[in-house]
Chains A and B, each alone.
Chain A
Amino acid sequence: MSAKRPKRKQPLPSPGEWTFELIEAYHLEIDRVAREYGLDTYPNQIELITSEQMMDAYSSVGMPVNYHHWSFGKSFMHTEKGYRRGQMGLAYEIVINSNPCIAYLMEENTMTMQALVIAHAAYGHNSFFKGNYLFKQWTNADAIVDYLIFARNYLSECEERYGEEEVELLLDSCHALMNVGVDRYKRPAKLSLNKELTRQRERAEYLQSQVNDLWRTLPAHQAKTQTFEEKRFPSEPQENLLYFIEKNAPLLEPWQREVVRIVRKIGQYFFPQRQTQVMNEGWATYWHYTLLNTLYDEGLLTDSFMMEFLHSHTNVVYQPSYNEPWYRGLNPYALGFAMWQDIRRICEHPTDEDRHWFPDIAGSNWRETFDFAMRNFKDESFVAQFLSPKVMRDFRLFAILDDDKESKLKVSAIHDEAGYRRVREILSDNYNLGSREPNLQVWNVDLRGDRSLTLRHQAYLRRPLNGDAEEVVKHVARLWGFVVRMEVAHEDGRVEVLHECRRDRRKSDGH
């Protein structure tokens, strides 16, 4: 902030306590500046809530409405305990990717914090939700709140009809598969409340008839048997376990299929968030920093406001080193903020190094470059494309190779001329869901035999599944209704069976 800054305007009052009038006044100014920078957002809906309500929102995975489940109660109790004992602060804000974009402000925040949150959530995250391709593809901001209401009503109807326990068991199993309920490369259909309601019954009936056809037990003609044996089911391995179960599990009732679908749809809604943490948080942090500094330069913010704001901002973007006790990996806020700032620097004041590394964007219009980057990337590709040697040097990034067959760790690359590309590659791969999470596929269903389902884990770099796998397989078996087998395909071609869950639903549940 330069000394020659002209004080053109009367600063907004900055008392510790916020008022509705002040929030409106600050919002007006932030909105004006955001428009000047060309941020395109959904309309905002700002809701003031208490810390109690913040904990509620936390525990229903940040959603304004959600169906009931014990796991949300568990997470509420956990949050509450941490908060009451002062072990944990609550986030200053929660923002919901919906249209209008709902941002929660906590009652306990000071006026400065409220302004920070408005800039961060209601303009930063909001514009990201609206612009980023993943969010556009995978979520439908217009329909999400309606869909959640539909889901909650549907589930409570199921509870009335089939019993809370029955629904709970089903939800447990679905939750276990929530993170393998996404087609990573296919675009989902848009959600819509009306469509959901009108088509839900049709779909249920149709699905059931399909399933029945699949399991038709009429004796097959001998002549055809030969060709049947050639045929695999599914014809290609499927990566979306929940979808496969929804469409093909033989013993599920129509309402159970609908519940599987609901969990799958909601899980899918969080899919983009998991892949854009660095970009999204960095983007929001960059914009709260930029918007509020612009207001300060215009003379609208007092010095005391800025001191408090900068104090919080600095905490948010703090990045400890690997050898400090509170090191928890890379801080997405810090890395994202640094990268966005760096992109602007490359655009406005490129060095020779930048011209060599980023010939396309060095010296370009920074707003256009920002817009392009925000719209078309996710963490993995964002890092691969835009992580500059300067940021790597600033963070003193280095990569460690940990091979459990070697007795020592190896430093594979550091922030030097020889290592920039390698470090960037590795960091990008760290953000790649495909390698971060195990690669699981529905491999085969023994259509002609015991109807057993085989899941295959394609091992990558010898990384094993964790101890939960056996439990999850049990959940799959509960949904599938017949034997479920989990096997692992090693990179050398060996295949071994890890777990097998024999659960014949027809017998145990009296079907």
Chain B
Amino acid sequence: MVRIIDRRFDSKNKSTVNRQRFMRRFKNQIREAVADAISGRSIKDLDNGESVSIPSKDLSEPQFHHGKGGIWENVFTGNDQFSSGDQINRPPGGGGSGSGKGKASKDGEGEDDFVFNLSREEFLDVFFDDLALPNLVKTQLARIHEYKSQRAGFTNDGTPANINVVRSLRGALGRRLALASPYSGKLRELQKQLEELLETRPNDDPEVLKLKDEIGILRAKIDAIPFIDTFDLRFNNRIKVPKPTTQAVMFCIMDVSGSMDEGKKATAKRFFMLLYLFLTRTYEHIEVVFIRHHTVAKEVNEEDFFHSRESGGTVVSSALDLMKEVLQQRYLNGAWNIYGAQASDGDNWENDSPHCRELLAESILPFLQYFAYIEITPGEPQNLWREYEKLLGAHANFAMQHIEGLPDIYPVFRELFKKRL
């Protein structure tokens, strides 16, 4: 009596729930690991999962067992040299003693970290589990120079590589039948006459010869119909369909004046990275424009943006002017979702701040999906903050946050991009 059951097509992921439980339980460790991973990566290197390691003591499942020490007497195999009563030196590392059964090694080596791989999705989900960008309006999203090739029936002309043989031959056959039809009717008639004639007359009778000539002419006419004609050719038709891709541009604006030290820049870098990371989830193609400024603003590459040293005073409006210029030149064709992120210590030339607010309100914010300002300063908000505060009510796509140090960055990010219903 036996039952043989094929379970191979049953649901495969019985352990999914348990995996999720695991992820949830060690969410904090996993988050930390992910944050560490990001600081070591370039801002655009986000296509990979991450191997996460958790100290195994954190996830040990403790139980009562014996530890090392005391008296143990164990049996081993393969005696090749010992007699009763022999004294042996302890093997280095204490192997061979302990509780036998391999438990000693379990205690001894248990310190390795537990390493496992987050898939890319899980990696990103750790950050974005409950986030979504506000006002996610997709504007004109087609990128002109990217096409998708797609089949669209058959055409009468094309390249030889695209000839559709079946269609072409079918056409040729039809044409041949049609062109030959007047002759073949006549041919059948003549052949019938010939057969009847041959029953009464000999082979070399003039009537017979005449009929045979006519049949020969008809045959030649039918044979002269071309087997295939250019007219018969059919080609597979492929058309190019514009592939809609969503694209965004992200402006990173950072104050690099003397008052912004390395620590503040590192904080700002985290913030830009996180923003970029989030945008990659929403958009297929993202361009990043780095603008740094002190009293004058300059568009630079990523390396210079984060690492070159500058000093001097601060005129924030210089950067906003440059951003406006770049916007108008490159991105205001309706094809871009535009995001802005500005990091500063808030220390601005006093008379410049109101001008910044105006610039933002009139020339920048109307075109943007979202603009986030973070002020990295340990103390009271500075003058720029106070000016920007006035924008808050009137512009739903504007947000600002105050950050004191590195540990604040993630909560702030969540606050900024919290789901808005």
Asked if B74 contacts A430 (CB within 8 A), the reply is yes
Interface residues of B in 61-87 (CB under 8 A from A): 61-80, 82-87
Residue A297 interfacial (CB < 8 Å): no
> For the complex, what is the distance from the CA of A414 to the CA of B84, rounded to whole Å?
6
Q: B377 within 8 Å of A by Cβ?
A: no
Given contacts A179-B63, A409-B89, contact A50 B75 (CB under 8 A): no
Q: Could you say which of B14-22, B36-44, B134-142, B319-327 contacts chain A?
A: B14-22
Q: Are A399 and B12 in contact (CB under 8 A)?
A: no
Taking A77-B116, A397-B75, A461-B72 as contacts, is the C-beta distance between A329 and B7 under 8 angstroms?
A: no
Q: Which of B1, B8, B66 contacts A43 (CB 8 A)?
A: B1
Residue of A nearest to B71 (CB): A461
A197 in contact (CB, < 8 A): no
Known: A46-B4, A81-B116. A463 touches B69 (CB 8 A): yes
Is the pair B77, A176 in contact by a Cβ cutoff of 8 Å? no
Docked-complex contact A178 and B63, CB < 8 angstroms: yes
Query: Are A60 and B114 neighbours in the complex by a CB distance under 8 Å?
Result: no
Given the contacts A76-B15, A426-B74, A475 and B79 also touching, CB distance less than 8 Å = no
The answer, yes or no, to whether A411 is at the interface (CB within 8 Å) is: yes
Q: Does A184 belong to the interface (CB within 8 Å)?
A: no
- A438 and B102 in contact (CB under 8 A), knowing A44-B3, A48-B6, A427-B75? no
Chain B residue nearest to A321 in the complex (CB): B78
B84, A411: Cβ atoms under 8 Å? yes
Chain B, range 86-113, C-beta contacts under 8 Å to A: 86-90, 96-102, 107
Is B115 an interface position by the 8 A CB rule? yes
Find chain A residues with CB under 8 A from B66 CB.
Answer: 436-438, 463-466
A70 at the interface (CB under 8 A from B): yes
Is B64 in contact with A437, judged by CB distance below 8 angstroms?
Answer: yes
- Of all chain B residues, the one with the shortest Cβ separation from A404 is B69
Which residues of chain B are near A327, meaning CB under 8 Å?
76-78
Complex Cα gap A379–B165 (Å): 76
Note all chain A residues with C-beta closer than 8 A to B98: 402
For A440, the closest partner residue in chain B by CB is B64
Range of interface residues on A (Cβ < 8 Å):
35 or more
A324 to B80 Cα, complex, angstroms: 12
Q: Are A466 and B84 in contact (CB under 8 A)?
A: no
List, in ascending order, chain B residues with CB within 8 A of A407's CB: 90
- Residue from A71, A77, A408 within 8 A of B88 (CB atoms): A408
Contact of A53 among B10, B62, B88 (CB under 8 A): B10
Residues of A within 8 A of B77 (CB): 319-322, 327, 330, 395-397
**For window 13-46 of chain A, which residues contact chain B by CB distance below 8 Å?**
20, 23-24, 27, 31, 43-46
Which A residues touch B392, using CB under 8 A? none
User: Given the complex of chains A and B, what is the CA–CA distance between A319 and B269 in angstroms?
Assistant: 58
- Bound-state Cα–Cα, A350 to B99, Å: 36
Q: Which of B21, B59, B115 has the most CB of A within 10 A?
A: B21
Check: B2 CB closer than 8 A to any chain A CB. yes
Give the residues in chain B near A440, CB-CB below 8 Å.
64
Residue of B nearest to A100 (CB): B3
A399 to B86, CA, bound (A): 11
Partner of B2 from the list A44, A53, A465 (CB cut-off 8 Å) is A44
CB nearest neighbor in A for B4:
A46
B60 interfacial contact with A, CB 8 Å: yes
By beta carbon, the residue of chain A nearest B97 is: A402
Q: Which of B61, B90, B101, B114 contacts A409 (CB 8 A)?
A: B90
The CA-CA distance from A323 to B70 in the complex, in Å, is 23
Instruction: Tell me if B386 counts as interface (CB < 8 A to partner A).
Output: no
For the complex, is B25 an interface residue (Cβ under 8 Å from A)?
yes
Chain B residues within an 8 Å CB radius of A466: 64-68, 107
Question: Does the CB pair B19–A175 fall under 8 Å?
Answer: no
Q: Which residue of A lies closest to B101 (CB)?
A: A329
Q: Is the CB of A414 within 8 A of B82?
A: yes
A78 within 8 A of B: yes
CA–CA, A334 to B64, complex, Å?
Answer: 29
Instruction: Known A43-B1, A408-B90; judge A74-B22 contact (CB<8 A).
Output: yes
What residues of chain B lie closer than 8 Å to A409, measured between beta carbons? 87-90, 96-97
For the complex, count residues of B whose C-beta is within 8 A of A: 66
Are A53 and B73 in contact, with the CB atoms below 8 A?
no
Q: Does A219 contact B (CB under 8 A)?
A: no
Cβ contacts under 8 Å, B78 to chain A = 319-324, 327, 395-396
In the complex, A465 Cα to B100 Cα: how many Å?
15
Does A462 have its Cβ within 8 Å of any Cβ on chain B? yes
Q: Let me know if B63 and A468 touch, CB within 8 A.
A: yes
- A469: interface (CB < 8 Å): yes
A20 to B96, CA, bound (A): 47
Q: Please indicate the chain B residues that have their CB under 8 angstroms from the CB of A172 in the complex.
A: 61
Determine if B5 is an interface residue (Cβ-Cβ < 8 Å): yes
Give the residues in chain B near A471, CB-CB below 8 Å: 60, 62
CA A223 – CA B394 in complex, angstroms? 81
- CB of A400 closer than 8 Å to a CB of B: yes
- Asked if A73 and B19 make an inter-chain contact with CB atoms under 8 angstroms apart, the answer reads yes
A216 in contact (CB, < 8 A): no
A474 to chain B, nearest CB (A): 9
Residue of B nearest to A50 (CB): B8
A475 touches B3 (CB 8 A): no
**Residues B101 and A467 in contact, CB atoms below 8 Å apart:** no
Q: Does A142 contact B (CB under 8 A)?
A: no
Contacting residues of chain A (50-88) with chain B, CB-CB under 8 angstroms: 50, 52-53, 55-56, 59-60, 68-74, 76-78, 81
Which residues of B have CB within 8 Å of A398? 75-76, 79, 82
Contact status of A322 and B60, CB under 8 A, knowing A73-B21, A410-B86 = no
The answer on a CB contact under 8 Å between A56 and B71 is no
Interface centre among A44, A48, A463 (most CB of B within 10 A): A463
A311 interfacial by beta-carbon distance below 8 Å: no
The segment from A185-193, A283-291, A416-424 found at the interface with B is A416-424
- Most A CB within 10 A of own CB, among B10, B24, B59, B77: B77
29 pairs of residues in contact across A and B, judged by CB atoms under 8 Å: A31-B2, A46-B5, A53-B8, A56-B14, A60-B18, A68-B18, A76-B19, A78-B116, A168-B21, A322-B96, A328-B102, A329-B102, A399-B75, A400-B88, A400-B96, A401-B72, A402-B72, A404-B70, A408-B89, A410-B86, A410-B87, A414-B79, A416-B84, A418-B84, A461-B70, A462-B71, A463-B99, A468-B62, A471-B62
Which residues of A line the B interface, CB within 8 A?
A: 20, 23-24, 27, 31, 43-50, 52-53, 55-56, 59-60, 68-74, 76-78, 81, 100, 107, 122, 164, 168, 172, 175-180, 319-324, 327-330, 395-404, 407-416, 418-419, 423, 426-427, 429-430, 436-438, 440, 459-469, 471-472, 475
A-B residue pairs, 4 tightest by C-beta: A321-B78, A73-B22, A73-B18, A463-B70
